């Protein structure tokens, strides 16, 4: 009688393989999620910081007012300073210094709305920051407060992320127009507490 060999996995081999795959996924998926969240937060903070740096540089170069403001229609042909920062923002040539776009005032940079998973908590609900032709901050223009601090966070809130830093970001704009990003957990919490803000 001729015998034939059967090819394939035994039940034991299959169970071992499935167990290994399960362990790898259990360890790898949370790390991938955290990596994606950290990448998204870093990108958001860096884009915001870069916009301020660009606005300051353009003000010094052009020797005129440059304003960065929240804009709910930032990607349209004629964006205006409306809405919240999470809706998007623009950097524009503010010739008359009135903190709003107008005829002949070119849009220098436009940023679309933030991802749904990212939240921005703005101190004093400020909607703009203006630079003078010297490259220095203009401070408060009219009755509207100028932007000073913004906490950016996701569903992790002000929790600890990789490296012991906060998962959130704190953007600080000084009256002189210098902008920095902080990740110190206690510093971020102080800003949230002092201004009765929650994140997310």
pTM listed for this prediction: 0.81
- Contact assessment for residue 184 and residue 166, using Cβ atoms and an 8 Å cutoff: yes
Tokens 């908590």 -> residue:
121
- Contact assessment for residue 152 and residue 172, using Cβ atoms and an 8 Å cutoff: no
Structure confidence at residue 22 (pLDDT): 62
- Contact assessment for residue 107 and residue 89, using Cβ atoms and an 8 Å cutoff: no
Tell me the pLDDT tens digit for each residue of 32-91: 677 788 889 999 999 999 999 999 999 999 999 999 999 999 999 999 999 999 999 999
On the question of pLDDT at 6 being above 80, the answer is no
- The whole-angstrom separation of Cα 73 and Cα 62 is 25
CB atoms within 10 A of CB 47: 14
CATH 3.55.40.10, applies to 41-194: yes
CB atoms within 10 A of CB 28: 10
At 2, is the pLDDT very low, low, confident or very high (cuts 50, 70, 90)? low
- Higher-confidence residue of 31 and 160: namely 160
Every domain of the chain and the residues it spans: 41-194
Structure confidence at residue 170 (pLDDT): 97
């Amino acid at each position: 009688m001729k015998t034939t060999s059967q090819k394939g996995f035994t039940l034991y081999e299959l169970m071992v393989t499935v167990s290994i795959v399960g362990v790898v996924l259990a360890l790898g998926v949370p790390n991938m999620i955290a990596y994606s969240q950290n990448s998204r937060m870093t990108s958001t903070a860096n884009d915001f910081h870069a916009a301020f740096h660009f606005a300051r540089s353009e003000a010094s170069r052009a020797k005129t007012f440059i304003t960065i403001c929240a804009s709910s229609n930032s990607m349209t042909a004629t964006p205006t300073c409306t809405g919240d920062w999470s809706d998007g923002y623009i950097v524009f040539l503010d010739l008359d210094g009135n903190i709003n776009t107008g005829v002949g005032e070119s849009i220098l940079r436009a940023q679309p709305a933030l991802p749904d998973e990212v939240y921005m908590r703005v101190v004093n609900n400020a909607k703009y920051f203006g630079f003078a032709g010297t490259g220095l901050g203009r401070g408060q223009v009219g009755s509207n407060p100028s932007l000073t601090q913004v906490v950016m966070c996701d569903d992790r809130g002000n929790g600890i992320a990789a490296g012991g830093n906060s998962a959130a970001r704190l953007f600080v704009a000084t009256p002189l127009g210098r902008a920095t990003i902080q990740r110190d957990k206690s510093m971020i919490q102080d800003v949230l507490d002092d201004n009765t803000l929650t994140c997310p």
